[in-house]
Structure 1
Amino acid sequence: MLFAQIGAQPVESRLTKRAITVDDLWAMGRVSDPQISPDGKWIAYTVTYYDMEKNTGNSNIWVVSVNGGKPRQLTTSSKADFFPRWSPDGKRIAFTSTRDGSAQIYVISIDGGEARKVTALSTGASSAIWSPDGASLLFLSESYPDCLTDSCNAAREKAQQSSKVKARLIDHLMYRQWNRWFDGKRSHLFLINTDGTGVRDMTPWDYDIPPIDLGGSTDYAFSPDGKEICFTMNTDSVITLSTNNDLFTIPVTGGAPRRITENKANDNQPAYSPDGKYIAYRAAERPGFESDRLQLMLYNRVTGETRSLTSNFDRSVNEVVWAPDSKFLFFTVQEGPYYSVYRTSVSGGSPKKVLSGGFIRNLRISPDGKFLVFQNEHVNFPTEIFRADIDGKNVQQLTFTNAERVAQLDLKPLESFWFIGAYGDSVEGLIVKPPLFDPKKKYPVVFLVHGGPQGAWEDDFHYRWNAEMFASPGYVVVMVNFHGSTGYGQRFTDVISGDWGGAPLEDLMKGLDYALAHFSYMDSTRVAAAGASYGGYMINWIAGHTNRFKCLVSHDGMFNTVSAYGTTDELWFNEWEFKGTPWTNRSLYEKFSPSNFVQNFKTPTLVVHGQLDYRLDVSEGMQMFTALQRQGVPSKFLYFPDEGHFVLKPQNARLWWNTVLGWIGDWIQR
C-alpha cells in the first residue's frame, strides 16, 4: 500500500489559506505512543500541548476506538501524563505522571475517575509495563548503586542538594552526557506490586539499564509466562568508548544476570515471541560505529542459537512487533525520506513490503493479528494515528487532532529530485515550496543541511527544523541527503566517516547547482544556508570554502575538531568518524577542521549555541563567533544559557525562529 499525499481534512475551512507561524507550530497537539487494548477495540495515546505564554507544556492520555470516531480524554492533569500501557485484562491503564512533582507511576480505570498513585520513590519512576498476570509493574527509576533502600537514596539526594559545595571530583569517563551531569545514580529496573507494595530493585548493579544511549524503543520486556525479564545493558568499563550494548535475562524472582548476546557491537530492543520460543532483537556488526546497519535477530531460548532474519537486507531495522501467531514479525525501515513497514517470517526469506510512502512510527499490531496501528505524518501534515489491514490495505486515519488548524494553513508537500553527486552516485534532493506559490515568480532559496551526519531530511513534520516554517516568509526550501545520509543503503551511509568535508560538500554543491539550474522559480542570486549539529559543522566548513551564499546560520556546530574531541561526551563517535584520536591521527582532524580555514571567512553568519550542549560544547559556538568577529565578518551569536543541543522551551523556540528568519530576511534581499 502506498500512501497518497494527505491533503484533505474532515474539517472544512472557508478562511483563505495562510502561511504557518511559530505560534501555529507550538499550538499543534503532538500525538504519540498509540497502544492497542487487549480486546483490540481501543487505542490509548498521548497528546502534548504547549502554552507559549506560560512557557510550559502538558501531556494527557486520550482513548479512541480502533474504528475511529470522537476520542475521549482520559486524564486531565496540568502537568505531564504519558507512557500509557494497558493492563492484561484491559480494565486499567498504567502511566507516568509528574502531577505531584517528580515522575511517578499511576494507574487509572479505563472508565475514568481518579488515578491511583502506585509509586512514591524519592528518585522518581517512569515507563512502566505490566507483568503478564497483571499483578505487578516493571518500571525505571534511578538509584545510587550502593543504596539498597529508598530511604538511603532520599538521604543521599538531600545531602547533595543541601550541600553548599557544588564542586565535583571526577575520576572516570564519562562524567556528563547530552545535557546533564552524572551525579552517581544509575538507571535501574524496579518491580512493584500493583497495590504499591513490595517494590524492589531488579538490577542492583553499577550499570545503567537501559544504557545511556544507542538503545531501542523499549529495552526491557517480560517473558510471556511472566517468569523472566530481558533487558539491555552495557557492562564495558569505559562507556564513552563503547557501543557494546548486550541483552541479559534474569528470573522475576531475582538473581544474577545471564548475558545472551556476545556481540561486541550494539544489541538492543528485546521482544519475546508470544509463544515464548524466541527473543527478537536488533544487532549491529561493527563495534564503535553507532550508525551501523541494525539487523533483525532471533535468539532461540531453548538452544541458545542466534540467527539474522535480515542479513541480506540493506536497511536498518527500526521498530519490531510480533504477529500474535509468532510466525511473522513486522518492522519499520527508513527508505529515503520515508519510513515503510515490512513483514518477515521466522523461517527466513526476503522481507515483504507492507506499507510505504509515509513517515510511519510507533507500529503496533492488533491482538487478533488482523490490523496494524501506527503514527503517520508528512512535512505538511502533523502526526496522527492510523490503522491498516494486516496486508497494508484499507488505510484509515483515526485521529484528527490538528485538522482545524492545518485546514487554515497553506502547507506544501515534499517534492523530490535526483542528481549525480560524489562517486558518480545518484543523490536525492528535496524541495518545499512557499505558501501561495506562483510558478511564474522567482523566490529566494533557503538551503538546509541536516545533522547526524548519519541522518536524513525526511517527510516528517519536524518541530524544530520545520521546512514549512523556513518556507513561510516566501522562500523555497532545498535539502540534499548527501553521502552519509541514512535510508539509502549502508555503503551510502558509511562513506562519510573520515571524509566529513569531502563527498558531502560535493553533494551539497552539486545538488544546489542542479536545483537552481532546473527549477526556474528559484532565484540563484538570493540563497542562504543553515544547519545544525553536523549541519552546523558543514555551515562552518562552507564558510571557509565558498562565498556563494548571502548569509549562513550555524546552530550547535563543530568549529575545532580537536577541541570538540576533548569536550564531547561520547568519544566512540569522534574516534570512529576521524579514525582515531587527535594524537593518533592528527592529520585527519586538522584536514577537516573549519578552524583551519578562518582566513577565508567572508559570509555574514549567525551562530547559535546552548550552554547545556554536552555533545558539542558551547565553546565550539564561541570559537566560531570569535573567529568571525576577528575577521570582521558581519555576525551575531544567539546564546541560550538554559538549552542544550536542541532548543525545547516554547519562548526560546519563538526567539530562535524570529532571530533565524530575521537574519535570513535581512541578508537574502540585499
Structure 2
Amino acid sequence: MFTSFRSPLVALTITLTAALFLLAPLSAGEVLTPEKLWQLKRLGSVTVSPDGNHAVYSVTQYNWQDETSNSDLYVLDIARGESRRLTSHTASDHNPIFAADGAGVYFLSNREDKAKAQLYYIALNGGEAERISNAPDGLSNVKLLPGQERLLFTKEVALGKPVKNLFEDLPNASARVYDDLKLRHWDGWFEGTYSHLHLADINGDNARDLMKDLTQDTPTKPFGDAGDFTISPDGKEIAYVALVPNRPADSTDTGIYLLPTDGKVAELLTKNMGGYDVEPRYSPDGTYLAWLSMETPGYESDRNRIMLYHRKNKTIEELTVGLDETVSHIAWQDNDTLIFNGPTKGTYQLYRMDITRKGKKHTGNITQITKGRHNLSSFTVKGDLILAKKSTHERPFELVKVNADGSLKTLTDINGDHYAKLDLPEIETMWVDATDGKKIHNWIIKPPNFDPNKKYPLLVYCQGGPQSMVSQFFSFRWNFHLMAAQGYVVVGINRRGLPGFGREWNDSIKGDYGGQPMRDILSSTDAMLAKDYIETQRVAAIGASFGGYTVFRLMGMNHGENKRFQSMISHCGLFNMEGWYGATEELFFPNRDMGGPYWESEEQKKQYAENSPHSYVQNWETPILVIHGQLDYRVPLTEGLQAFQAAKMKGNKARFLYFPDEGHWVLKPQNGILWHRIFFQWLEETLPGTKEKPSAP
C-alpha cells in the first residue's frame, strides 16, 4: 500500500557526496549507535569490464555533522578480490561505465558545477580524469550506445499549460492550478515537467529529445532509474518504460515502448496489458526482449511475470507460467538464459531460467542458484560471472561473486574497519502457528553478547507495504542491528499479505487489513512472550507506513486481558481510512485493496469503518509516539495529527515528532539521527528498566 513496486528492497540507496567524518574511531567491543550507523559507507552502482576481469563500483560516505557526503570510484580485481581507489574528489563520482576496450571508465561527476553533472573518463590504471561532455543542463541516467560515440541521457522538459507563474504581473504569486488528479506524488507537487530521453554526441552536442511532446516520464517518478530504458545490441532501438496516458492516480499501467533511434515515433509494445510492465532487457544477440509484467490492472503487488517478446515474429509469451512467486529483477546470461532474483521465506535469492524453444513456443526451466540468510540484489551478469550486492540484518551491502555451486565469495569489505570493532547481534528464525493453522515466519534479532539467562525488552516490528517482506534488509532507519545493540530483542513478523510465501499468502490481505494480518502479529507476539528471556512487561509495537497503520490498529486491540504492549511507535501510519482515501495520491491502493471508494455502497462504508483504526479509539490506553513528515503525500500529515490528537484527548501519554522537510521517509542525516534519538528516548521512558546503555559515540 504505502511502498511502491519500484521502492527499493527497503535498504535505502541514495546517491549523495562526501567528506571525512569528524567522529572518533570506533573502539573495540562497541555496539552500533545512530551516529555510528551514519558512518557506514554505502555501496553504489557496479560495472564489469568487457573481459570480466575487473569491476568498478562507487562508494558513498556521509558526514552527518555538516550533512555533506562524497562518492568515489573503486576498481576491483575480481580474481584476487582486491580493490583500490580509482577517484578521490570532493565532488560526487558515480554512474561508472566501462569503455569498450576495457582500458578505462566513463563516469558522471559534478566536479565543476555542483548542479550539473558531466561525463568524465579515467584510465583504469589511474591518473587524472578527463572531462568529456559540456551539456548545458548537465547529464543524468547516462548510457552509451554501441561504438560509444553517442550517449543517451534523461532531462526534464516543460510541457503543456503551466501550473504556476500564471500571470506575468503576479511574479510573486506562489499558487498552482490543476485540472486533474495526481497533482502531487510521494513528496512533491507536479511542476509541469517530464523526464525525457535525449540522444547526443558523447560530448553532449547535437542533443535531441526522443520523446518530444509526449506527456510521459522515463525513468518513471520517483523510484525509476536508468534500468527503465535499455538499448538494443545494434543501437537502433531503445526500449523504455513510461506510464500509459490515462488516469495516473488510479492506474498502474506502465508500458514498454519501442523507440527507433533514427527519430521515428515510439510504439507501445504492451497494448492491452494493464498492469505494471518494467525492466526491459534485450538478449545479447538482440533476438528477444524480456521484461517484468504484472497482469492485474491497479494491483501494484501482483505477481511479476517474466515476459518474452520475439522481435522477428512479434509474439509475446510468459516464461513463468506456474511459478507461485514474484520476480524482482532480471538479466540475460546468454541468448538462452536469464538470471533473476526473488523473495523466498524472508530472503532474496538468485535463480537461473533456461529458455527452451518448442517450435514457436518457449518455456522457462527454473533452478534456484543461491541459498542462505541474505538478500541478493542489484546483480550484474557477464557470461558465467555473476556479481551481486549482499545485505543482512547485521551488515549493509557488500559485493559478492556467485560461484558455480551457488556459494558466495565476498569481494569487498567497505565497512570492515568498523565491523572489526563492533559486537554483532544474533539472528535466528522462528515459525509460529497462525490462528487458522498456517505457519508464520519470523526473524528474531537478539542483542550482542546475548545471555539467555537474562530478561530483555521486546520490540515487535510491524512491516509496511503492506505487501513488502521482512527480508534480510539493512535499513538506515528501521535498523534491527541498531535496535538490538541498544539492548532490545526484535521480532520481524512476515504476517499475512506479503511476498516470499506464495501468492495466496501475498494476496489474502485484500479487504482484510485489520483482520488476519493483525492476528498473525499477535500470534507471533505471544510466541515471543512465552520465551524465558523476554520481559513481558516491557514490550512495544513499532512500525511505519502500513506498519504504522498496524500500530494504530493494535492500539485498539491492546486493552483489558488482551493487553500485550506497554508502548507504541507509529511512523506515517494510516489512521482514518475515509480521510486517507480523500487525500492520498495513488488511488489504486484503496480501489484494489478495499474494493473502491467508501461512498459506493453501505457495504463499502462498513468495510472502511471496520478496518479503520480510528473506529477503535475508545479502547486506546497505551502510550504512543506518533511520527510524521509534512511532505508525506502517500499518507498525509493529517493522519498522524488525528491519531496524536485522539491519544491526547483520551488521556494517553503521547508525543508527536514532526519533520517539516521530510516525506514518507527520513532522508537527511541529522534528521535521521534525531529520529533514532527520539525513538530510543521514548522507549526508555515507556519501557523503564535496567537495560544497559550503549557506549557513547
TM-score (norm 1): 0.92
What code does the residue aligned with 1:523 have? E
Q: How large is the RMSD of aligned CA atoms in angstroms?
A: 2.2
1:659 to 668, 674, 678: 678
1:351 to 366, 377, 384: 366
Q: Distance in 2 between matches of 1:576 and 1:88?
A: 47
1:86 to 98, 102, 107: 98
* Contact preservation (8 Å) 1:177, 1:614: yes
* Contact preservation (8 Å) 2:153, 2:198: yes
* Contact preservation (8 Å) 1:16, 1:408: yes
* Contact preservation (8 Å) 1:214, 1:243: no
Q: Report whether the alignment pairs 1:114 with 2:123.
A: no
Q: Report whether the alignment pairs 1:595 with 2:614.
A: yes
Count of paired positions: 644
Q: Distance in 1 between matches of 2:73 and 2:660?
A: 32
2:572 to 545, 556, 564: 556
1:58 counterpart residue number: 70
| Cα pair distance change 1:477/1:290, threshold 3 Å | same
2:581 counterpart residue number: 565
Q: Distance in 2 between matches of 1:271 and 1:14?
A: 44
Q: Distance in 2 between matches of 1:619 and 1:77?
A: 43
| Cα pair distance change 1:137/1:247, threshold 3 Å | same
1:620 counterpart residue number: 639
1:447 counterpart residue number: 460
* Contact preservation (8 Å) 1:190, 1:202: yes
Is the deviation greater in 644-653 or in 85-94? 85-94
Please report how far the alpha carbon of residue 206 of structure 1 lies from its aligned counterpart in structure 2 after TM superposition. 1.3
Q: Distance in 2 between matches of 1:640 and 1:377?
A: 29
Residues 399-425 of structure 1 show CA distances to partners (whole Å, capped at 9, x for unaligned) of 111011112111124211001114321
Q: Distance in 2 between matches of 1:109 and 1:282?
A: 35
Q: Distance in 2 between matches of 1:328 and 1:50?
A: 39
Residues 533-552 of structure 1 show CA distances to partners (whole Å, capped at 9, x for unaligned) of 00001111111111321110
Identity %: 35
1:210 counterpart residue number: 219
* Counterpart secondary structure, 2:328: strand
Unaligned runs of 5+ residues in structure 1 are: 1-12, 148-152
1:247 to 242, 248, 256: 256
Q: Distance in 2 between matches of 1:443 and 1:233?
A: 49
* Counterpart secondary structure, 1:321: strand
Please report how far the alpha carbon of residue 117 of structure 1 lies from its aligned counterpart in structure 2 after TM superposition. 5.1
1:272 counterpart residue number: 282
Q: Distance in 1 between matches of 2:473 and 2:672?
A: 19
Q: Report whether the alignment pairs 1:606 with 2:621.
A: no
* Counterpart secondary structure, 1:27: coil
2:172 counterpart residue number: 164
* Counterpart secondary structure, 2:412: coil
* Counterpart secondary structure, 1:624: helix
1:190 counterpart residue number: 198
* Counterpart secondary structure, 1:198: coil
1:385 to 393, 399, 421: 399
Q: Distance in 2 between matches of 1:641 and 1:74?
A: 39
* Counterpart secondary structure, 2:520: helix
Residues 75-102 of structure 1 show CA distances to partners (whole Å, capped at 9, x for unaligned) of 3332433222223333443333344122
Please report how far the alpha carbon of residue 216 of structure 1 lies from its aligned counterpart in structure 2 after TM superposition. 7.8
1:17 counterpart residue number: 29
Q: Distance in 1 between matches of 2:642 and 2:320?
A: 45
Q: Distance in 1 between matches of 2:84 and 2:116?
A: 24
Please report how far the alpha carbon of residue 616 of structure 1 lies from its aligned counterpart in structure 2 after TM superposition. 0.6
| Cα pair distance change 1:520/1:207, threshold 3 Å | same
2:359 counterpart residue number: none
* Counterpart secondary structure, 1:58: strand
Q: Report whether the alignment pairs 1:574 with 2:590.
A: yes
Please report how far the alpha carbon of residue 52 of structure 1 lies from its aligned counterpart in structure 2 after TM superposition. 1.3
Please report how far the alpha carbon of residue 157 of structure 1 lies from its aligned counterpart in structure 2 after TM superposition. 10
* Contact preservation (8 Å) 2:141, 2:226: no
Is the deviation greater in 184-193 or in 253-262? 253-262
1:175 to 180, 183, 198: 183
Please report how far the alpha carbon of residue 121 of structure 1 lies from its aligned counterpart in structure 2 after TM superposition. 3.9
2:54 counterpart residue number: 42
2:413 counterpart residue number: 400
* Counterpart secondary structure, 1:127: coil
The aligned runs of 1:532-551 (5 Å cut-off) are 532-547=544-559, 548-551=564-567
* Counterpart secondary structure, 2:200: strand
What code does the residue aligned with 2:316 have? T
Q: Distance in 1 between matches of 2:517 and 2:417?
A: 40
Q: Report whether the alignment pairs 1:462 with 2:475.
A: yes
Q: Report whether the alignment pairs 1:339 with 2:348.
A: yes
Please report how far the alpha carbon of residue 526 of structure 1 lies from its aligned counterpart in structure 2 after TM superposition. 1.3
1:201 counterpart residue number: 209
* Contact preservation (8 Å) 2:135, 2:205: no
* Contact preservation (8 Å) 2:319, 2:364: yes
Please report how far the alpha carbon of residue 281 of structure 1 lies from its aligned counterpart in structure 2 after TM superposition. 0.3
Q: Distance in 2 between matches of 1:93 and 1:297?
A: 33
Q: Report whether the alignment pairs 1:329 with 2:338.
A: yes
TM-score (norm 2): 0.89
Please report how far the alpha carbon of residue 382 of structure 1 lies from its aligned counterpart in structure 2 after TM superposition. 2.1
Please report how far the alpha carbon of residue 349 of structure 1 lies from its aligned counterpart in structure 2 after TM superposition. 4.1
Q: Distance in 2 between matches of 1:365 and 1:76?
A: 27
Q: Distance in 2 between matches of 1:588 and 1:79?
A: 53
Is the deviation greater in 412-421 or in 204-213? 204-213
Please report how far the alpha carbon of residue 215 of structure 1 lies from its aligned counterpart in structure 2 after TM superposition. 5.6
Please report how far the alpha carbon of residue 15 of structure 1 lies from its aligned counterpart in structure 2 after TM superposition. 5.9
2:536 counterpart residue number: 524
| Cα pair distance change 1:506/1:14, threshold 3 Å | closer
Residues 22-48 of structure 1 show CA distances to partners (whole Å, capped at 9, x for unaligned) of 111000001122211112121111111
What code does the residue aligned with 1:40 have? G
* Contact preservation (8 Å) 2:141, 2:154: yes
Q: Distance in 1 between matches of 2:82 and 2:226?
A: 29
Q: Report whether the alignment pairs 1:320 with 2:330.
A: yes
* Contact preservation (8 Å) 1:215, 1:269: no
Q: Report whether the alignment pairs 1:145 with 2:159.
A: yes
1:97 counterpart residue number: 109
| Cα pair distance change 1:314/1:401, threshold 3 Å | same
Please report how far the alpha carbon of residue 243 of structure 1 lies from its aligned counterpart in structure 2 after TM superposition. 0.6
Please report how far the alpha carbon of residue 159 of structure 1 lies from its aligned counterpart in structure 2 after TM superposition. 10
* Contact preservation (8 Å) 1:332, 1:341: yes
Q: Report whether the alignment pairs 1:494 with 2:494.
A: no
Please report how far the alpha carbon of residue 67 of structure 1 lies from its aligned counterpart in structure 2 after TM superposition. 2.1
Please report how far the alpha carbon of residue 191 of structure 1 lies from its aligned counterpart in structure 2 after TM superposition. 1.0
Residues 169-194 of structure 1 show CA distances to partners (whole Å, capped at 9, x for unaligned) of 11111111111111100011111111
Please report how far the alpha carbon of residue 502 of structure 1 lies from its aligned counterpart in structure 2 after TM superposition. 0.3
Residues 397-450 of structure 1 show CA distances to partners (whole Å, capped at 9, x for unaligned) of 111110111121111242110011143211101100012211111111111111
1:5 counterpart residue number: none
What code does the residue aligned with 2:355 have? V
Is the deviation greater in 106-115 or in 409-418? 106-115
Please report how far the alpha carbon of residue 396 of structure 1 lies from its aligned counterpart in structure 2 after TM superposition. 1.6
* Counterpart secondary structure, 1:339: strand
* Contact preservation (8 Å) 1:222, 1:228: yes
